[in-house]
Structure 1
Amino acid sequence: MVHRNALEQNRTRILSKVQLNESADFLRGLGVEPEGQEGLWLEALTHGSTGEKRNYERLEFLGDRVLGLSIAEWLYERNDDAEGKLSQRLNALVSREMCAKIAREIGLPVHVRLGKQARDDGGADSANILGDVMEALLGASFVSRGFDPSRNMVRELWSKEVSGYAGRQKHPKSALQEWAAGNRRKPPEYELIDRSGPDHAARFTVRVSVKNVGTVDAEANSKQEAETAAARKFMEKFS
């Protein structure tokens, strides 16, 4: 039995090496050496649609916390902003939308392992999937290398965004809420009017309305992002 288990582990290791070979250079470009831990990094790149037993979900759970702590510490070090402004920036910098943006910038989409249907449905460009895989890579980095190298990875990949304007402006929904109050209008109301596509590539259409002012529709990969987009469009049109 022990001998059989050893053979199976060796077979899995060889298979992992073959499957990860095309992504090895990509990972090395991020400062990661996958040799010896091929299964872990393959797991981080694997979507549930492949039907494989292990996919990125557990690593994404871990990587979300690694990213949050890394960015929070970084923002705390950089300035003396009050808690409210720090939270505003943190939320923008760790959002799924931002993670997906970083993923696209580093060329991650072509390395995500998807089932045929998920890929045909556009899963390789789904903000939901790319954001999750980006976090899964951080989770794998934490498991294999610890916190400090993973934090350094975050600081390298997020450098432009932290130095830029991401999260410096008020969130569109908060801005719309305050605009409505300042103009003696009722609070904005958000309504989900359509949801289409499979779970891994869903599209949500949300309508925001302010009584006696108007309505605006917007579409995105999640309900939250659609609400944000609708609030932004409303402000651009009516404020």
Structure 2
Amino acid sequence: MRYLILFMLVAGFFIYGNQMFCGHGGFNFGFGIRGEGPVNTESRSVGNFHAVSASIPGVVEVRISDNYSVEVQAQENLMSILKTEVNNGKLRIYFDENVSNAEHLKIRVSAPSFDAFEMAGSGRLEAFDPIRGNRLDLAIAGSGEIILPEADVQTMNCDIAGSGEIEVSGRAADAEFDIAGSGDIHAKNLVAERAKASISGSGTVTCNASQTLKAGISGSGDVYYSGTASVDSDVSGSGSVQRAN
């Protein structure tokens, strides 16, 4: 089932581009509006949110705060088409018209807590404060990047469809890593009690588990693990499951 979901993510990304998460305009190489003019910064008024979904070719900076805030930095002519909306607790960041070039694009968001981060396209999302909670879902469709220097959760789910990268450190009771494509999940510094890793393609998962690790590979992907977990592996293709050096 998870492979099916990841396949649909890949198909959706390549068919619809970075509209997948946000369902609006997007970033198109060579087509659309080019960013022009000085770089402006403005604060946006939005509702309460606990998740972030971005489909922009820029940087999203995440911080923990008692207050909800969104600050956008973009070239002058892009401000009006750069949308920041909250729907069902999820902050959506997207262009509502096609954009071919956007420089110095940065979004700064803060909230008391987060339980999901999604990135579609080639952007980067980075958290600058520890993310704590019961569950945290990370998802990339495309070549984007998500960086979490410190997480402390019960359940961590990381999904990549494409060539993106997720880097996460911290602790989790249960962690699940899924890749469809050539993406990379760097979780050697995320200490999990129980971990599952699934790769369909040529991706790489590096993880750390103390009790159990269940790994499944279809293709040429690799799972590198550390920790004291007992390992149950199922490999179809030229991939491998091996202890990290």
- TM-score class, shorter: under 0.3
Larger Rg: 1
TM-score calculated relative to the size of structure 1: 0.22
More helix by percentage: 1
TM-score calculated relative to the size of structure 2: 0.22
Q: Which has the higher contact order (CA 8 A, sep 6+)?
A: 1
